[in-house]
Chain A
Amino acid sequence: MTATSHPRSSPHRLRLLLAGLVAVFSVLFGFGGSAAWAASSAPIDPTTAQESLAVWLRQASDKAGIPDVSFSVKGSGFDATFTTDAEGRATVGLPGPGTYTVEIDGSTVPATAGAVPSASNPREIDVSATNQNVPVNFLAVAGDAGGAAATPAPATSASTPATGTDTGAGGGTTSGGSADTSDPATTTVDAAAGGTGFWGIAFSKLVTGLIFGLLLALAAIGASLIYGTTGLNNFAHGELVTFGGLVAFTAATLGAPGWLGILLAIVIGGAFGLVQDTFIWRPLRKRRVGLIPLMIVSIGLALSTRYIYVFFYGGDRLALPNDPSPFLVLGPVSLRFTDVMGAVVAAVVLVAVAFVLLKTKLGKATRAVSDNPSLAAASGINVDSVIRSVWIGSAALAGLAGVLVGYYQSLRWDTGSAILLLIFAAVTLGGLGSAFGALVGSIVLGVFMNLATLVIPENLKYAAALVVLIVILLFRPQGILGKRERIG
């Protein structure tokens, strides 16, 4: 049928995997440092240059251009300083295709305009041959953002949600294409900007990928548990993710501190799962509706829920209060407070989930139902209540993932649905229905997606992840940790 695989003991495989991860880490933390920049070069006339950049610095709040700000463009042996014009624009001629680093000189930004978030400044831009006027947009944020805040703690200083950082501005406009905000691939904040040299960039992409993988795992474990216990490929799982982000956003708008927003997202997210199970999925199970109609119901639910979000929150990006100043610097990688906290919270929660699944009665019951519902029922497990718990837990995890992704990348009505296929890919990669497989799958996928951008265009990394999904189904449809019989 498919590529044969001999059953191996999974603890052994897990150990191998852990050993591999440790090895990767020890290698990666061994390097770092920065290359010296080339000496200053003469400006090139943008009208005659084959390649050029169109830099535009604006105010985040009213999109007004900020004039007379100097910035440097470095890369490919080119190093020059320029100044924005009255509209905040400047066109820079380049010596040839390559990767350029554009950095706004923060000291020349007027104090009234605020500062350019360090997450987007400096920024690396890939310029392909004959790409002219490649957009490089910066937004300056008023307020204390980017200032010399000694104790950046956005989680507790969430009182100014209105001055959100438009962190995605130009984040994906790398090579002349117009930014498309609907794909996660192009809305990713390059939290690890500032990498130097190939290994520096690779390292920063690895860190970005690991963090994203952890966040993805939160959502993927839930999707995997739901699949395992009910057989449903929940196409509305992305909406559970978005829901958590929206809860946190609403809490922040009402002046709640960040930690409260996260807590509310988990609690209200879980309640949303309970409501869904009680009013939609449980009645459908009672009606003995087949799996394919259930899948289609989840699609309908996803479609309407997503657009109910648009109805109430609009189609624009929603800003969660975030401090863009660097919090942790690892060699060429600088991370914001929220990036670090997101990864830590995700890791802690994932360990807690693993504990619940392995050690508690509920966890064992969940795995029993996942394995064989009839046998579980026969041995006295209340399958329905297990499934209800799974829905609550999965929705709560998805809600947490939503807030953290909202902090990490950006929040929009389609934040969750944009990563839905990545969730599916992670679940399939790890092995359908296996919670730990989903964890491994997510991290592998997150790292792969980001490392892939070393060789493919940034905006294709999402497609690359989907290609992985298809290739896995070709050669190992049961996934990394999945059981062979699941392919049916």
Chain B
Amino acid sequence: MDFNFIWLSLGEIASPTTAAYALATIGLVVHFGFTGLLNFGQAGFMAVGGYAFAIATLKFDAPLPMAVLATILASALFALILGIPTLRLRADYLSIVTIAASEIIRLSVKTSELTDITGGATGLNGAAKTFNAINPFPKGNYGFGVLTYTADQLWVRVVGWTLVALACLVVFLLVRSPWGRVVKGIREDEDAVRSLGKNVFSYKMQALIFGGVLGGLAGMLFILPRSLQPDNYGTQLTFFLYTIMLLGGATTVFGPVIGSMIFWVTLSLSDGLLALGINSGILPITSVQQGPVRFIIVGVALALLVVFRPQGILGNKKEVFFSA
């Protein structure tokens, strides 16, 4: 039997995908956990960020800093467009609009009419060229055993986790600032904050833009080690992020990081265990049936978490505003 999958699963702790999911979830925590905005379209922010980066790099030959700037501006603009009509409405309206907007993005970029710009249904490939060009690590292999990485793979991991750490730091400081207190106040009681003379709409918009930009950067990070595929940005990506957020703790800064690590290690381990069980004939299912199992697990976990441990692993039960 091949038990390498255990090591590979543990390798998920540091993978760039885990970092991208963590970063997107930090954005979601800013939206949902701290401001109380029910954003069901974080996948759309990731798509906007990823496409902005890839299109700037591949179609306009933009240097890396310009491409990153494009990512930030595009996701901020998306947040602005989304926020103006919806932030005055009730939370469940916002959720439907954001989920609809993210689907509009996904369906629009994959139409064949836009193939010249967005690559249509096949997406875009090679957006990491400017990123890998400034890789300071000399060529070679790093790591040990099955967890051996090329210089480019190491580079994206280092940058990805640096980004995550920076985002954590900024959010940590922001939440403890006067801005953070107002935003948390909006989450608890919007009218009370409004009666104190604060412009609730403006604070909500700032939170939506800030979390959206984190989502956009996560979208960029997500495509650095892979090609850009429009169907990666379906609604279930958002639901994965919600699972990660509720797992780690929706009102915590470091919850998303822990949550993302546990999420990916668990998925990877369960995949490995299932494959092992199927190949050795212990489990009476086919390898085709193995694929859906991870989604079934995620769905059940999401439902159970929100009911039985809404504060997540790191959260404080007193701060769980949404189960009231």
Partners in one complex: yes
Please measure, in the bound complex, the distance between the C-alpha atom of A300 and the C-alpha atom of B231, giving whole angstroms.
Answer: 20
Please measure, in the bound complex, the distance between the C-alpha atom of A1 and the C-alpha atom of B85, giving whole angstroms.
Answer: 11
Residues of A428-476 at the interface with B, using a CB-CB cut-off of 8 Å, are: 428, 457, 459-460, 462-463, 466-467, 469-470, 473-474
How far, in Å, is B242 (CB) from chain A's closest CB? 6
Given known A293-B323, A296-B242, contact A177–B112 (CB-CB < 8 A): yes
B100: contacting residue among A425, A457, A477, CB under 8 A = A425
B111: contacting residue among A177, A314, A469, CB under 8 A = A177
Q: Does B293 reach chain A (CB closer than 8 Å)?
A: yes
Residues on B with beta carbons closer than 8 Å to the beta carbon of A293: 306-307, 310, 322-323
Residues on B with beta carbons closer than 8 Å to the beta carbon of A462: 103, 107
Considering the complex, give the chain A residue whose CB is closest to the CB of B289: A311
Q: Are A291 and B92 in contact (CB under 8 A)?
A: yes
Residues on A with beta carbons closer than 8 Å to the beta carbon of B90: 487-488
Given known A175-B112, A473-B93, contact A183–B107 (CB-CB < 8 A): yes
A177: contacting residue among B93, B120, B243, B300, CB under 8 A = B120
Considering the complex, give the chain A residue whose CB is closest to the CB of B302: A300
How far, in Å, is B237 (CB) from chain A's closest CB? 12
A: interface residue count bin: 35 or more
Q: Does A180 reach chain B (CB closer than 8 Å)?
A: yes
Please measure, in the bound complex, the distance between the C-alpha atom of A2 and the C-alpha atom of B85, giving whole angstroms.
Answer: 9
How far, in Å, is B66 (CB) from chain A's closest CB? 29
Residues of A116-136 at the interface with B, using a CB-CB cut-off of 8 Å, are: 128, 131
Please measure, in the bound complex, the distance between the C-alpha atom of A303 and the C-alpha atom of B241, giving whole angstroms.
Answer: 13
Among A284, A287, A299, A460, find the residue whose CB has the most chain B CB atoms closer than 10 A: A299
How far, in Å, is A288 (CB) from chain B's closest CB? 9
Considering the complex, give the chain B residue whose CB is closest to the CB of A413: B292
A300: contacting residue among B85, B121, B306, CB under 8 A = B306
Q: Does B153 reach chain A (CB closer than 8 Å)?
A: no
Q: Are B121 and A178 in contact (CB under 8 A)?
A: yes
B: interface residue count bin: 35 or more
Residues on B with beta carbons closer than 8 Å to the beta carbon of A287: 307
Q: Does B316 reach chain A (CB closer than 8 Å)?
A: no
Please measure, in the bound complex, the distance between the C-alpha atom of A183 and the C-alpha atom of B109, giving whole angstroms.
Answer: 14
Please measure, in the bound complex, the distance between the C-alpha atom of A131 and the C-alpha atom of B323, giving whole angstroms.
Answer: 53
Considering the complex, give the chain A residue whose CB is closest to the CB of B291: A310
Considering the complex, give the chain B residue whose CB is closest to the CB of A134: B112
A175: contacting residue among B113, B306, B324, CB under 8 A = B113
Residues on B with beta carbons closer than 8 Å to the beta carbon of A303: 236, 239, 295-296, 298-299, 302
Please measure, in the bound complex, the distance between the C-alpha atom of A286 and the C-alpha atom of B249, giving whole angstroms.
Answer: 24
How far, in Å, is B1 (CB) from chain A's closest CB? 25
Q: Are B322 and A311 in contact (CB under 8 A)?
A: no
Among A183, A287, A293, A467, find the residue whose CB has the most chain B CB atoms closer than 10 A: A293
Contact with A along B284-308 (1 / 0, CB 8 A): 0100110111011111111110110
Q: Are B92 and A233 in contact (CB under 8 A)?
A: yes
How far, in Å, is A98 (CB) from chain B's closest CB? 15
Q: Are B85 and A308 in contact (CB under 8 A)?
A: no
Considering the complex, give the chain B residue whose CB is closest to the CB of A283: B307
A477: contacting residue among B89, B91, B296, B323, CB under 8 A = B89
Contact with A along B90-104 (1 / 0, CB 8 A): 111101110111011
Q: Are A300 and B113 in contact (CB under 8 A)?
A: no
Please measure, in the bound complex, the distance between the C-alpha atom of A131 and the C-alpha atom of B113, giving whole angstroms.
Answer: 10
Among A287, A296, A462, A469, find the residue whose CB has the most chain B CB atoms closer than 10 A: A296
Please measure, in the bound complex, the distance between the C-alpha atom of A242 and the C-alpha atom of B181, giving whole angstroms.
Answer: 45
Contact with B along A177-206 (1 / 0, CB 8 A): 110101101000000000000000000000
Q: Does A302 reach chain B (CB closer than 8 Å)?
A: yes
Please measure, in the bound complex, the distance between the C-alpha atom of A180 and the C-alpha atom of B229, giving whole angstroms.
Answer: 13
Considering the complex, give the chain A residue whose CB is closest to the CB of B245: A296
Q: Are A304 and B299 in contact (CB under 8 A)?
A: yes
How far, in Å, is A230 (CB) from chain B's closest CB? 12
Please measure, in the bound complex, the distance between the C-alpha atom of A295 and the C-alpha atom of B242, giving whole angstroms.
Answer: 12
Those 6 A-B pairs whose CB atoms lie nearest each other, nearest first: A304-B299, A300-B303, A303-B299, A177-B112, A300-B302, A307-B292
New contact pairs (13) apart from A182-B231, A473-B96, CB-CB < 8 Å: A131-B112, A180-B121, A292-B91, A295-B38, A296-B302, A301-B299, A303-B299, A308-B292, A425-B100, A462-B107, A463-B104, A469-B96, A469-B97
Q: What are 23 sample pairs from A and B whose C-beta atoms fall under 8 A apart?
A: A177-B110, A178-B122, A180-B121, A182-B234, A185-B107, A233-B92, A287-B307, A293-B310, A297-B302, A297-B303, A300-B301, A300-B306, A302-B299, A303-B236, A304-B300, A304-B303, A310-B295, A311-B285, A314-B288, A459-B107, A473-B93, A473-B97, A477-B93
